[in-house]
Amino acid sequence: MRGEHRRRRKPVVTGWRGRAVVAVLGVGALAAGSGVIALSQSDGRVARLSSLSTPTVPTPSACADAATMPLRAALAQTLMVGVAAPTRAELTRLARLGIGGLFLHGDGMRELTDGRLTRLSKAAVPPLVSADDEGGRVQRIAATGSMRSARKQAQLRPDQVRTLARKRGEKLLRYGITMNLAPVVDLAGRNPAIGDRAYAARPDDVSRFAGAFAAGLREAGVLPTLKHFPGHGRATGDSHRGAAVTPPVASLRSSDWKPYRTLGATGTSVMMGHLTVPGLSTQGLPSSLDPVVYRALRTEVGFDGLVVTDELSEMKAVPFGLGQSLRRALGAGADLALFFAEPARVPKLLDALERDVRAGRLPEARVREAAGRVLAAKTCG
């Protein structure tokens, strides 16, 4: 997204004894697969706790039910609005609209230090507050200080990475940030858009270190996000600037998707990128708008948690205008559509989405399914 290459003006925590712990904005575990994956604190090995199971469908929060809430409220829950240095008035407007998430893509300090973000937790259905905070060249919250890149994190032990991420998550949460769009689980390749943002070239190494980072965030009460499915590290092209094409789907299945299979049941969300997959993708659609790719994530990989898109309004790999991109992304299978917009524009976007539902262009059942997953990732207090 733009925040990854240009500067601009407690969800679910999975306990290591196998119990889903809810912190700050977490209520009920994010829907996952058939078991809970735990990361050993000592050496970073991954072990399946097969005796435990997690829901296979989203669990709505105690104070909001996606099945019965007004359609406009359900639609609002599927939107993550990107803003830079939002004012109190802008935050109030977005909170009253009931948006599902807020993305901070600037590095302003005032909104972090004057409590305006933490006050969002008092909303009837608080939004997830997210940021890009991977480390290295992608860290947008200046108040939390510097953090080494993923490639340099991989020079540490997994338990050290876990501690680093926990301390980082504690700082983020202190400022009201409850979701981190990290870690990157792309495999290291020759793609300059990823570069040192990737931990390693081998899937097992990526799972070990990214899993440690995700575990540390969860311990701090921050929701981690695995990205960028179906895999940007070995792709040709940069989705910020235009089309990006991955290796053939058979190659992704045997390598790039392994970290998602390993880590996707650990209380994470997944970011869907804007990529074309030979042998899988629908012609003319990036993965973020393609039902076939969402189906692969849900069925082949087995991920049943929250899926957020990469940024939809300005990344050049998205060939449609914002209104059509939102409709297509939600219809394809996204739960939370991320985009940059002035807060004053959001009501009109909701109007358009309501019209899409009424006209049958966007199935209402899909909207409520998406809203249910968003609600499952947070609580009302």
Give catalytic residues, as residue numbers: 240, 310
The two beta strands, 36-39 and 46-49, are antiparallel
Under DSSP, is residue 160 helix (H, G, I), strand (E, B) or coil? helix
Place of tokens 């058979």: 250
Identify the CA nearest to 33 among candidates 216, 214, 270, 231.
270
d(CA 247, CA 86): 39
Establish whether the linkage from the previous residue to 259 is cis, with ω within 30° of 0.
no
d(CA 306, CA 32): 9
Identify the CA nearest to 21 among candidates 275, 311, 288, 218.
218
Tokens of 52: 């435990």
Tokens of 93: 């407007």
Where helices occur in 199-290 by DSSP H, the ranges are 203-220, 249-251, 258-263
Return the axis-axis angle of helices 203-220 and 158-174, rounded to nearest 10°.
40
The secondary structure of residue 127, as a DSSP letter, is P
Place of tokens 């996606």: 66
N-to-C CA span, the chain? 31
The Cβ-side half-sphere exposure at 261, using a 13 Å CA radius, reads: 13
